Amino acid sequence: MKIHIDESPAGSGKTYRQIEGITANKGRTLFIVERIERFSELQRDIEREAAKRGTRPIIVQISSQDDAWRSSVSRRIEELPEDYRNYDHVIVLATHAAMLRSD
């Protein structure tokens, strides 16, 4: 497991650098953001960058607003390794608050 934290100043392009990296290199990525409202924009940016690079990652959004899942946000995060163990390129979008509630 690799953990990468980019503490570059606001406006320095850290989100776009990360999107370039996670779309270019297959792996399982947990992408943490502050607000659920960023999910749609991030997914669009990830899909666009992946298309440029010829990759097709699975993109998963985990939030308490997702009616499709009956289990709690923390349980969904905890189940990720098992749920996606057979996939080599997965990007999960979750909030900082969701991570604070998870083990």
Task: Kindly report, residue by residue over 38-83, the tens digit of the pLDDT.
Answer: 899 999 999 999 999 999 999 999 876 654 545 577 788 888 889 9
82 occurs within a structural domain: yes
Q: 94 - beta bridge partners?
A: 32
Residue 66 sits in a domain whose CATH number is: 3.40.50.300
Question: What percentage of the chain carries pLDDT values higher than 70?
Answer: 86
Rounded-to-integer distance, Cα 20 and Cα 75, Å: 29
52 occurs within a structural domain: yes
CB 74 within 8 A of CB 86: no
The count of structural domains within the chain is: 1
8 occurs within a structural domain: no
Q: Is the pTM of this model over 0.85?
A: no
Query: Which tokens go with 30?
Result: 């947990």
Q: Print the domain residue range for 82.
A: 14-100
Rounded-to-integer distance, Cα 91 and Cα 89, Å: 7
Least confident span in 11-15, 26-30, 64-68, 87-91: 64-68
pLDDT at 34: 82
